[in-house]
Amino acid sequence: MRVYHGTNIAIEHPRMINRFKTLDFGEGFYTTENEDQARSFAVKVCERRSPTLVPVVNCYDFNEDLSQLSVLRFDAPDEQWLDFVVERRKGMALCEKYDLIIGPVANDDVFGTIILYEAGQLDKESAIRNFKVKLLFNQVVFCNEFVLNRLIHIESYQVEE
């Protein structure tokens, strides 16, 4: 599996960082199988942090047999995915149970729907219905050093804006 990580630096040897506990799938190293999504995220990271930063996409191969790992997979933004994302965004930890978590990313297009759902302004069925009209790319989260150390760095390149 080829995965990409968009940021503002080249990362040949990814490491677990504890500061992202309230993201979609909790703590871990976030990647995607969609290179365009990684490019877009790299640009957003730089815009948020400093206009002087340069967007970088890191490319990795992961050749492990997923059947030999503890993998939580969400094939669609359904009720189980929504519950999991909402719990993680509240800081509830569960990632240590898994090696990988794979599923749709709650990008900027759907983040507002999640906020409305959490605030009780949308019911679960309406929130899920809203997700189904959005183009959601996937994210592959590496949840521990064991799997993270099996990523093979292919290249890092600057994004031309």
Q: How would you write the pLDDT of the chain (161 residues) with one tens digit per residue?
A: 999 999 999 999 998 866 555 567 778 899 999 999 899 889 988 898 888 899 999 999 999 999 999 999 998 888 888 888 878 777 666 556 899 999 987 655 566 777 777 788 888 787 777 766 555 678 899 989 999 999 999 999 999 86
| Under 8 Å between Cβ of 157 and 56 | yes
- DSSP state letter for 32: B
Domain locations along the chain: 2-158
Q: Cα–Cα distance between 152 and 161 in angstroms, integer?
A: 26
| Under 8 Å between Cβ of 150 and 99 | no
At 152 the pLDDT is: 97
At 135 the pLDDT is: 59
Residues 6+ apart with CB under 8 A from 20: 26, 27, 28, 30
At 112 the pLDDT is: 72
